[in-house]
Structure 1
Amino acid sequence: MAETRLHPAQLILPMFVREGAAESVPIGSMPGVVQHTLDSLRAEVARAAAAGIGGVMLFGVPEHKDAIGSGATDPDGILNVATRVAVAEAGDALVVQTDLCLDEFTDHGHCGVLDARGRVDNDASLARYRDMGLAQAEAGSAVLGLSGMMDGQVGAVRSALDSAGHPDTVLLGYAAKYASTFYGPFREAVQSSLQGDRRSYQLDPANRREGLREVLLDVDEGADVVMVKPAMSYLDVLADAAAASPVPVWAYQVSGEYAMVEAAAAHGWIERERAIDESLVSIARAGAEAILTYWAIEAAERWARS
């Protein structure tokens, strides 16, 4: 009788890979989630493939940062190396995806480069995104997650990829990405150096119509998939996008959503597994065709046993 059902192939696991790490590093605010070494990345990708989830989304945690995020475009930078490792391990069993944003690589922690007054320079950032997109495509990433929220980012990267012979690389536009407090644990996960905030380029949480407008703009620029982020506090925006978008709509169940459930369950205040499943079903019910979630492997393995 259930109207909404989920399959493991609809789940995507975000993964953090730390440069220079000798062993996996637990993330304190996200119990059960770690910064991976290249070896533990291989093992977890193999486990993800065996669980039947749809893909992994990789984030790099570099040892060194600078003002323009040089490590993001270095073929031997941690994210591009991790991509090659994951692709070699996964084969065709799942889709290897990469985060295309500079925030993990810049010493100021913003998603783009800064101008002389310390403000994010949208057009200069697009030039970096083009180069980053090419580096990721050449490393083997099948889906580029454009999460920086720069105006014109989808069109800029699409043009660069097509000109360089990568017309089949999929662009996932983080179209409706809100300036949310629920990203807090993620910033620990990537060791963010953020100074200030991102309200000048991420969306105001009060704005519903703007979210749909941004989705349609990304579609017009050539996005193959569009994203709503965070998920659970923006189910209305997600439903609007799902009703209007001609391309698939995904959602990201972000670090703060994960941390809240884990913390409440650890205190015995909620039933953990039921809360996980209910949260995922709610996101799918609102219209998400795939969900980025830190519970991807756990949920898929548990569903297979039930």
Structure 2
Amino acid sequence: MLTLPALMPHGSCFFWNVPLTTLHVTADCLIFLAYFSIPTIMFINRNYATEKARSLLVLFAAFIFSCGLSHLVTAWNIWHTDYWLEGCTKLITALVSGYTAIELKRCLPNLLRTQQNLERSEELMRTDPLTGLVNRRGFQEAVTQLYNDDRDRKRIHTLILLDLDGFKNVNDTYGHPFGDRLLCQIGELLKMNVRSPESFVARIGGDEFAILLENCGIIEASNVAIRLRCLIAEFSLTKDNLGLGVSAGLSILASQKSLETVYEEADKALYYSKQAGKNLISWTDSLEKNQFKSI
């Protein structure tokens, strides 16, 4: 039969102090929960890690588990005197910790380089390799993010699709390397002349560019497009005027429109600009859905 002193903690500060004992027991229980749930979650999800990272992940799980075991025995020894058991668990934790540190030193640089390469690859997937601008995928992701972040549509945004007129003649006359340099310069010109840091430019294919003007209405956006059209018309990499023009289609990002509708409206307006004689800036008439205004 257990005597009363056998049920008392060995730390004299705990003697008959129920609030203090409750505090330590509660804290130890929460620590146990963390120590044993974290490695369990890591072990269960080990297959989602790469082959190189999996062994390190399991090792970290073992390390955290051994720390939890050591803490459990230390808490146990408040009430009992199994100090040999406590010493053994500490030795196990020390060995696992040391081995984890060795493996971490060996594997971590490669894992970090892999992560850096992955981030660079993801960035390259969103970047046009010729001009350095955002590509179609990156632009669509950015517009989608803007659409999701600005659900109340208190601000007005405008999408502009631009297509160079006469670029094929430039390629035929001066060659494709010259055309590539011209596209790079045009991209830089567009990026430098949009009106705010919130706006951004993308090359979405061939000689077609897209501009998102945040917090900008259709009239202000059309003025931006006119200014860009003038700058491109005056731009040249040779002494001769290249005769470049710009066809553009504009569309407003509004609450009642889906993102697909916004792209479709801008694309239709761009097509109208091309069919109506080129070097035009067009958008859908707000009163007549199938009619366009052009300047």
The answer, yes or no, to whether TM exceeds 0.5 is no
TM-score normalised to structure 1 length: 0.21
The one of the two structures with greater contact order (alpha-carbon pairs below 8 A, sep at least 6) is 1
- Structure with max Cα Rg: 2
TM-score normalised to structure 2 length: 0.21
